[in-house]
């Protein structure tokens, strides 16, 4: 539910929590990723939590899940147009983080 008075609250309701932003960022940097690769990149996340977070992100329209009709099955995750709008935010975070480290 959108809150017309607080855009920050709207943002955190969509992408809040420990794992959603790192998952989106991993996909952003690679364009398309499979589950196992996301699990490798997002340090410390369990497979169970990753599964839950991917489902939530897909439900919220932030990532696309594409399943290929192959044997063995192959699934790839990519960003939606909605989440591509976060790319500038990630670039600003990276710039800020790099300036703080100096």
- CATH number, domain containing residue 48: 1.10.10.10
Asked if residue 55 is part of any domain, the answer here is yes
If one counts the domains in the chain, the total is: 1
Query: The domain containing residue 82 runs over which residues?
Result: 11-100
pLDDT tens string 47-96: 999 999 999 999 999 999 999 999 988 999 999 999 988 888 888 988 98
Asked if residue 63 is part of any domain, the answer here is yes
Asked if residue 2 is part of any domain, the answer here is no
- The string of DSSP codes covering 11-62 is HHHHH-SSSHHHHHHHHHHHSEE-HHHHHHHSTT--HHHHHHHHHHHHHTTS
Comparing C-alpha atoms, which of 9, 20, 8 is closest to residue 62? 20
Asked if residue 6 is part of any domain, the answer here is no
Asked if residue 75 is part of any domain, the answer here is yes
pLDDT tens string 8-54: 887 888 778 899 999 999 999 998 999 999 999 999 999 999 999 99
Asked if residue 25 is part of any domain, the answer here is yes
């Amino acid at each position: 539910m959108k809150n017309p008075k607080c855009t920050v609250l709207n943002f955190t309701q969509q992408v809040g929590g420990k794992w959603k932003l790192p998952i989106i960022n991993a996909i952003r940097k690679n364009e398309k990723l499979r589950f196992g690769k996301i699990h490798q990149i997002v340090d410390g996340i369990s497979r169970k939590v990753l599964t839950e977070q991917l489902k939530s992100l897909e439900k919220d329209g932030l990532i696309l899940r594409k399943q290929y009709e192959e044997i063995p099955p192959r699934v790839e995750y990519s960003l939606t147009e909605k989440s591509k709008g976060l790319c500038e935010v990630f670039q600003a975070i990276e710039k800020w983080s790099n300036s703080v480290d100096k």
